[in-house]
Amino acid sequence: MIVIQNAIDAISLGAVYALAALGIGLIFSIMRLINFAHGELIMVGGFTLYALAGQPYLVMGLAAILVAAILALGLERVAFRPLRKASPATLLISSFAVSYLLQHVMLMIFGSRPMGVDFLPQLGDAVELGPLRVPELQLAAIVVTVISMTGLALFFRRSRIGVEMRAAAEDFTMARLLGVRANRVIAAAFVISGVLASMVSLYLVAQTGTVSYKMGVNMVLIAFVASVIGGMGSLVGAALGGFLVGIVSVSLQAYLPVDLRPYRDAFVFLAFIAFLLWRPQGLMTRRADMERV
Amino acid sequence: MSRDWQSAALLLAIMITVALLATLAPPAMQRTVTEAFVKLVVVIGLYIFVGNSGVFSFGHVGFMAIGGYVSAILTILPAKKQVALDLPPFLETLQLPGLAAMAIAMLVAAIIALLVAAPLMRLRGIALPMATFALLVIVHVVALNWQSVTGGRQALVGLPRFTGLWTAVGGAALALVVATIYQQTRHGLALRCSRESEVAAAATGIDVGRERLIAFVLSAVVVAMGGVLFAHFLGTMTANTFFLDLTFVTLTMLVVGDMRSLLGACAGVALVSVVSELFRSLERGIDMGGHVIEAPPGLQEIALAVILLVILIMRPHGLVGDWQLAWPKKKAKEGS
Amino acid sequence: MLSVKDLHVSYGNIVALRGVSLELAKGEIVAVIGPNGAGKSTLLLTIAGVVRAKHGEVRLGESSILGIAPEVLASHGIALVPEGRHIFGSLTVAENIALGATTRRDRQAIAADVERALDMFPILRERYRQRAGKLSGGEQQMLAIARALLARPKLLLLDEPSLGLAPLVVRQVYEAIFELKRQGITILVVEQSVHRAVAAADRTYVVNSGQVAISGRSADLHGTAAFDAAYFGAASGAGER
């Protein structure tokens, strides 16, 4: 019984991590950019909810999605487009800088203390599934993730720009030679990643009831780990990685001896290192492809 | 004198000049300059690995923390240690002079770096930077939670504050010399070969993994020294100091100057320190003929990030780029 | 149709092209051959907009196309099949071919062109729904050409189409190239393999060390000592073949 409860915990947490990882993985697969600022897309989504507190939840949610998408687009245009030809080191530091910048802007405006937001508190109620009591939020997380991933899969297979993005992710230059417009594909990728980030923020705010300027940081770290585990550049891998980290995280929380529980994150990252030593290219990438990274 | 040593000599001269000027400045400014020199030690340490190998490391701040905590444990008054921590008796009663504590801290860092990095150095691509990042997180989590040794979330206080201006300059000078020597050894040369092309280097018989390990351990030792100096500058150790923000600032200092050269590292530290200080003064408020101009708090960090982005956009390799510092020479003697 | 004048291209400090000039008339097949590292690929990449030139001129018809982005050049009718084929392995054959028509909007004509491409390369019809990564080298080359054709290019640039392919397959590829010429497409072929290219082309340029060493009608050049010398470089003595 506890096992099933834990399993649902794990899968729902994994679902949220998968969404976060997808946002990172998408940008990376097309631009080879590791977007540290993804955490701030989440954060801004959260603060949008805060700013619209009291409005109908649907309005709050849609606004968060819209704002995150627009911010993502803006970041691409202002910060990342001029850097398209830069070295990986420069790209990394730049995205770090953007992240740092956004965090401190919010800090300046809103201060450092976490602030309360009422968003879908009814999801805290539990649903009775036989002998189990599952918080609605967890079910919602799983459902939303599944719908999103299905939507994305359809988008990538059926829509013209989706196919162009897949091509660009595999071989950007060749795609351009065929006429795929670099700017459009990249902009689309950022918009999608913004939407994914905002969905993560909806979950976080619904779950914790608070927003703070550092709320995206933990999530983005996990998202990276998940992406690397799945294989940078593979979207399926990112999702898989997210679920895997969720499962490991919850399992450690449940099964570590009590005194060691505060060190849970250390164990998660230790497991991550062990994974890297075993399969550094990630789950979905073949070793030969790794050199491209 | 080889170009590397010329460059180092000039940098040392500049460092000493700055320090001398600082002695004429008010104490607050001296503290700022001291802190900049301490950060310089860390950034030079970072350069030893990142600059020579071309591989990013996010874990160096973890070694700062290790250096700082070890030194703290060895130098805080036994009475205070008894209250704040829960150490084995021989550590509790031990109190060492600063230099000895620093040496031991550096040794501990070296050992940990060796043990931890040995299996990691064969990782390629993005796996290695991510592994160093995992190291940072692990050190951070341990520091936050190992109450009995690090004080956990509470700040560990009572460190003797022996890092004055000239101590910091001495540390920076030492770091500079070590980095320059390493750069000229065949290990440094071999590593820089692999920076340009791993495949070519391996084909020439260079054991890339081993060279990276050597650089990583040396780098960890220097960074740990920086951590010790930092800890004894602040007088306290707080686990949360040694995490992402400090990682960002030190990496920025390295990259914005130019991560491929010592000159770049120094230039980066100078630039970031100057910008930070400028905006810190603005935040305090500048008196311009009776009118006080005050900037909102947090502007310093924002300005730093913006300036960094602008510099990277304009000069993707960093401020220094391919420029080199050497004695003025007849053009004919310069290589291509 | 295409005119290149005094093209200089460098990769950092390495000079790849030092003043290359060539001309293509509409409907011609022109071969550019030369030893490894001569700069032939660089030439094609520069024309296609992937590599920046230091200076020189490249004109398509009347207009200069230097410095224009590759995706824009694609809509002007330039198609490049790069060395190594560069098909999208994770996409299906169908998706690869469809991507060739990225710049076009005329659905029915595109569908008709797909049919024609599949007629030209029947093996692709067989493998239509398969992942392109599973195709053999020769099949991938055909896919790359089919994909290029979907753009209805005016100018087709082929970089070493015979590389790594069995002689029988190379023959099929060159038959396709001839067919394309018959359809009126202007073609610039870069090859290391001398025979095929020179035999197929109307005119040939020999490029060595970033410069055009010799050029002329293939019939005139083929087999002459001057030709061999130009290919192998003056220093290497009387033409070995």
Q: Among A113-122, B36-45, B309-318, C163-172, which range has the highest average pLDDT?
A: B36-45
**Mutation target among A273, A283, A286 for the B interface, most CBs of B within 10 A:** A273
Q: Which chains touch C (3 or more CB pairs under 8 A)?
A: A
Q: CB–CB of A43/A106 below 8 Å? A: yes
> What pLDDT digit, counting tens, does each position of A19-52 carry?
999 999 999 888 888 899 999 999 999 999 999 9
| Interface check C12 vs A, CB under 8 A | no
Name the residue in chain A with its Cα closest to that of C85.
A174
A248 touching B, CB under 8 A? no
Mean pLDDT value of segment B221-244: 94
DSSP single-letter state for residue A76: I
Q: How many helices (H) and strands (E) does chain B have?
A: 15, 4
Per-residue pLDDT reduced to its tens digit, C205-216: 888 888 887 788
Torsion angles phi and psi, residue C127, rounded to 5: -100, 20
- Report the C-alpha gap between A86 and A101 in whole angstroms: 20
- Taking all residues of chain A, what is their mean pLDDT, rounded to a whole number? 90
Res B326 pLDDT > 60: no
pLDDT at residue number A288: 52
pLDDT band at B323 (very low <50, low <70, confident <90, very high): low
Residue at token pair 């993707």: B316
Strand (E) or helix (H) holding A2: helix A2-31
Region of residue B125 (phi > 0: left; psi between -120 and 50: alpha; otherwise: beta): left
CB contacts under 8 A, B 3-42 vs A, are: none
* Residue A162 pLDDT greater than 50, yes or no: yes
Question: What does the pLDDT average to over A141-163?
Answer: 93
The span from the CA of C56 to the CA of C62, in Å, is 15
Q: What tens digit of pLDDT does each residue of A215-235 get?
A: 999 899 999 999 989 988 788
Residue A121's SS3 state is: helix
- CA B114 vs CA B185, B193, B202, B213: distances in Å: 20, 22, 22, 7
> What are the tokens at A45?
């989504």
pLDDT bucket at B1, cuts 50 / 70 / 90: low
- Give me the residues of B, 226-265, that contact A with CB < 8 A: 244-245, 248, 251-252, 255-256, 259
Rounded-to-integer distance, Cα A76 and Cα A209, Å: 30
pLDDT score for B278: 86
Nearest to B313 among A82, A269, A290 (CB): A82
Residue A123: DSSP 8-state:
G
- Residue B336 in this model has a pLDDT that exceeds 60: no
What percent of chain C clears pLDDT 90, i.e. is strictly above it? 25
Which residues 108-167 of A are in CB contact (within 8 Å) with C? 163-164, 166-167
Contact yes or no for C124/C142 (Cβ under 8 A): yes
CB contact at 8 A, A20 and A217? no
For C108-124, what is the mean pLDDT? 90
Question: Could you count the other beta carbons within 10 Å of the beta carbon of residue B44?
Answer: 30
For A225-284, how does the pLDDT look when each residue is reduced to its tens digit (9 = 90+)?
999 899 887 888 999 999 999 999 999 988 889 888 889 999 999 999 999 999 888 888
Can you tell me which residue has the tokens 């970041």? A75
What is the pLDDT, as a whole number, of residue A190?
96
C-beta atoms of B248 and A281 within 8 A = no
For helices B186-196 and B27-53, the axis angle rounded to 10 degrees is 70
Q: Give the CB-side neighbour count of residue C119, counting CA atoms within 13 A.
A: 7
3-class secondary-structure state, position C53: coil
Instruction: Please tell me which residue of chain B has the smallest CA distance to A280.
Output: B127
Rg (CA), chain B: 20
Mean pLDDT, range B249-253, rounded to an integer = 90
Instruction: Quote the pLDDT of residue B208.
Output: 87
The answer to whether C2 and C60 have CB atoms below 8 angstroms apart is yes
Q: Do C70 and A163 touch (CB under 8 A)?
A: no
pLDDT of residue A205: 93
Q: How close B300 comes to chain A (CA, Å)?
A: 9
Partners of A180 on chain C (C-beta within 8 Å) are 71, 99, 102
CB-based contact (8 Å) between A181 and chain C? yes
Q: Do A175 and C75 touch (CB under 8 A)?
A: no
- The first and second tokens of residue B160, run together, are 């003797």
Q: What is the pLDDT of residue B324?
A: 58
pLDDT value, residue C240: 39
**What are the DSSP E strand ranges found in chain C?**
2-11, 14-24, 29-33, 55-60, 63-64, 78-81, 155-159, 186-191, 203-208, 211-217
Helix (H, G, I), strand (E, B) or coil at C54: coil
User: B30 and B45 in contact (C-beta within 8 Å)?
Assistant: no
- The stretch B311-331 carries a mean pLDDT of 65
Comparing CB atoms, the residue among A96, A98, A228 nearest residue B127 is A228
Contacts of A221 in chain B (CB under 8 A): 133, 137
Contact B245 A100 (CB under 8 A): yes
Residue A284's contacts (CB-CB under 8 Å, 6 or more residues apart) are A230, A231, A234, A236, A237, A240
Percent of chain A at pLDDT exceeding 90: 62
Q: Are A74 and A102 in contact (CB under 8 A)?
A: no
| Per-residue confidence (pLDDT) for residue C233, from 0 to 100 | 61
- Tell me, what's the pLDDT at C237? 37
Look up residue C102 and give its DSSP letter. T
State residue A211 phi and psi, 5-degree precision: -130, 145
Q: What is the dihedral of CA B314, B318, B319, B322, to 10 degrees?
A: -110
Query: How far is CA A107 from each of CA A40, A53, B103, rounded to the nearest angstrom?
Result: 12, 19, 39
**Chain A hits for B131, Cβ within 8 Å:** 272-273, 276
Which letter does DSSP use for residue A118 in this model? -
- Determine contact, residues A230/A25, Cβ cutoff 8 Å: yes
Which of A85, A174, A236, A285 is the mutation pick for testing C, counting most C CBs within 10 A? A174
Closest-CA distance of chain B to residue A201, Å: 21
Dist. CA A161–CA C96, nearest whole Å: 14
**Going along chain A, which residue ranges are E strands?**
115-116, 126-129, 132-135, 210-211
3-state secondary structure B137-176: HHHHHHHHHCHHHHCCCCCEECCCCCCCHHHHHHHHHHHH
Q: Hey, what amino acid is at A239?
A: A
**Token reading at B325:** 């510092």
Please tell me the predicted confidence (pLDDT) of residue B301. 86
3-state secondary structure string, chain A?
CHHHHHHHHHHHHHHHHHHHHHHHHHHHHHHCCCCCCHHHHHHHHHHHHHHCCCCCHHHHHHHHHHHHHHHHHHHHHHHHHHHCCCCHHHHHHHHHHHHHHHHHHHHHHHCCCCEECCCCHHHHCEEEECCEEEEHHHHHHHHHHHHHHHHHHHHHHHCHHHHHHHHHHHCHHHHHHCCCCHHHHHHHHHHHHHHHHHHHHHHHHHHHCEECCCCCHHHHHHHHHHHHHHCCCCHHHHHHHHHHHHHHHHHHHHHCCHHHHHHHHHHHHHHHHHHHHHCCCCCCCCHHHHHHC
Chain A touched by B143 (CB under 8 Å): no
Cβ atoms within 10 Å, residue C205: 26
Provide the mean pLDDT of chain B.
87
Look at B141 and A263 and tell me if their CB atoms are within 8 Å.
Answer: yes
Q: Encode pLDDT of A166-205 as tens digits.
A: 999 889 999 999 999 999 999 999 999 999 999 999 999 9
Lowest mean pLDDT among A51-60, B159-168, B282-291: B282-291
Q: Which domains does chain A have, with CATH numbers?
A: 2-292 (1.10.3470)
Instruction: Give me the total of CB pairs closer than 8 Å, taking one residue from chain A and one from chain C.
Output: 62
Q: Which other chains touch chain B, taking contact as 3+ CB pairs less than 8 Å apart?
A: A
Residue B335: predicted pLDDT? 37
Residue C99 above 60 pLDDT?
A: yes
Contact: A182, C71; criterion CB under 8 Å: yes
Q: Which residues contact B174 (CB under 8 A, 6 or more apart)?
A: B225
Q: Which residues of chain C make contact with A171, given a CB cutoff of 8 A?
A: 86, 88
How does strand C2-11 pair with strand C14-24?
A: antiparallel
**CA separation for the pair A47, C102 (Å, rounded):** 40
> Mutate which of B279, B312, B314 to test chain A, going by most A C-beta atoms within 10 A?
B312
**pLDDT tens string B30-42:** 999 999 999 999 9
In one letter, which amino acid is A64?
A
**Which residue in C75, C79, C91 is closest to A167 by CB distance?**
C91
Is the pLDDT score of B4 beyond 70?
yes
Q: Name residue A84's amino acid.
A: R
Residue B290 is predicted with a pLDDT of 64
The confidence score (pLDDT) of residue A80 equals 92
C94 touches chain A (CB under 8 A): no
Tell me which chains share at least 3 CB pairs under 8 Å with chain A. B, C
List of domains in chain C: 2-233 (3.40.50.300)
The pLDDT score that the predictor gives to residue C213 is 78
| pLDDT surpasses 80 at C235 | no
B283–chain A Cβ distance below 8 A for any pair = no
CA angle B237, B177, B5 (to 5 degrees): 150
Interface touch C71/A180, C-beta < 8 Å: yes
Chain B's closest residue to A105, CA to CA, is B302
What pLDDT is attached to residue C234? 45
Is A277 at the interface with chain B, CB within 8 A?
yes
